[in-house]
Structure formats: structure tokens, C-alpha cells
Amino acid sequence: MPSTEILQEAHNLHGVSTRLDSIAEQHPTITEALLVIAGNVRSIAALLEVLVVTKMGPEPGPAHS
């Protein structure tokens, strides 16, 4: 399903933002820039998740009895 693939990419982006946060702690000279970038990546991931929910709907699941 395309929505599953998009949600996986959003999950991957959350991981990227977390890693950027970690790198920022280790490099004080560019901490602020890395934190801004990490926040932007996190926002994009959230937007992808909203896009899936609002435009593609929830994933069809097994029929409930």
C-alpha cells in the first residue's frame, strides 16, 4: 500500500531528526543550525503522516465480526 510506504518514510525521517539532535549535542559550533534542521525534518515527517490520514484514509484492516 502506498500509505504504508509513506508512513515508513515518515518514520525514517523521525529517525534522521533524532540522529541530528544527537550530533548537535556533540558539535557546539553548529548545534543551533543542526537543531533547526532536525526540527524541520521532524515537521516534514509529521506532515507526511497527516497527509496519509487526511488524503489516503486509514489502512484497511481485517474485517471485524
How many distinct structural domains can be found in the chain? Answer: 1
Q: Looking at the domain assignment, is residue 59 inside a domain?
A: no
pLDDT for 34: 98
Span 41-56, pLDDT tens digits: 999 999 999 999 998 8
pLDDT band at 65; cut points 50, 70, 90: very low
Q: Looking at the domain assignment, is residue 12 inside a domain?
A: yes
Span 6-17, pLDDT tens digits: 999 999 999 999
pTM: 0.80
Residues in contact with 56: Cβ distance below 8 Å, sequence separation at least 6, in sequence order: 2, 3, 6
Q: Looking at the domain assignment, is residue 10 inside a domain?
A: yes
Span 19-45, pLDDT tens digits: 999 999 999 999 999 999 999 999 999
Length of the chain: 65
* Residues of the domain holding 17: 2-54
Residue 26, C-alpha cell as written in the block = 556533540
